[in-house]
Amino acid sequence: MARKSNQANESTEVNVAAQHDSTTPERGMSLVDEALLGMAASAGSPAGQGDPLVEEAPPPDPFATYWTEFDLRCRDCQVTHYVPICLFVNAEESPELVQRIISSHFNMKRCPVCRQIEYVEHPYSYYDPTRKLIVQVRPEWEWHAGGGDDWYAARLEDLFDKWAEHDVRIEVVFGPQPLIDRFLQDVPPPPARR
């Protein structure tokens, strides 16, 4: 009984909608339809003349894990090869990268010719959303090159400027080991593999 009355209600609604469409087609257009029409119109316009809101990509999430690519030369055999390098690690989004940092397998390059494996000393940032913490990991040699306290203060100032609008705490370390020692001690180990 209940099922039958439901069906009756549905068919009544369909009839009402159909009648509405046939009598007032213009008003039947939804906001989505209008947006699609607008996009089609700007797509047909000459390049550079369209609506900038439609043509520009949305701004990237500054807290997302981010990779780049470098052509790097092997120290041993001088071959230049392509290396993907992670510049920003979101610990929540990429727990596998956190494990690679801890096990010293992060941002390594492997020469395709001589198989030499080296750590790529490029600055990267570690972001822990739960602690609202960003740690910039700079190459260890910068510290030994005599930067010392002034260098550290300058890097910290740059970072503060960059993240001033966000509610995050900023730290700078030199080399991955201080990052591990100071901030990654309570990261749980990866789930055991079977």
Question: Does 117 help bind Zn ion (rule: CB under 5 A)?
Answer: no
Task: Please spell the DSSP secondary structure of 158-172, one letter per residue.
Answer: HHHHHTTTS--EEEE
Residue from the set 74, 86, 134, 135 that interacts with Zn ion by CB under 5 A: 74
Least distance in angstroms from the C-beta of 123 to Zn ion = 24
Stretch that binds Zn ion, among 85-93, 99-107, 108-116, 142-150 (CB under 5 A): 108-116
- What is d(CA 17, CA 27) in angstroms, rounded to the nearest whole number? 12
Angle between the N-to-C axes of helices 176-183 and 95-102, in degrees from 0 to 180, rounded to the nearest 10: 110
Contact status: 83 vs Zn ion (CB under 5 A)? no
Beta carbon of residue 119, minimum distance to Zn ion (angstroms, whole number)? 15
Q: Which residue number, 20 or 73, has a Cβ lying nearer to Zn ion?
A: 73
Nearer residue to Zn ion within complex by CB, 82 or 160:
82
Q: Which stretch binds Zn ion (CB under 5 A): 10-18, 77-85, 97-105, 125-133?
A: 77-85
- Taking contact as CB under 5 A, which single stretch among the options 45-53, 66-74, 89-97, 148-156 is the one that binds Zn ion? 66-74
- 172 counts as binding Zn ion under rule CB under 5 A: no
Q: Which of 86, 98, 111, 179 binds Zn ion (CB under 5 A)?
A: 111
Q: Does 145 bind Zn ion (CB under 5 A)?
A: no
| Residues within the interface to Zn ion (CB under 5 A) | 74, 76-77, 111, 113-114, 116
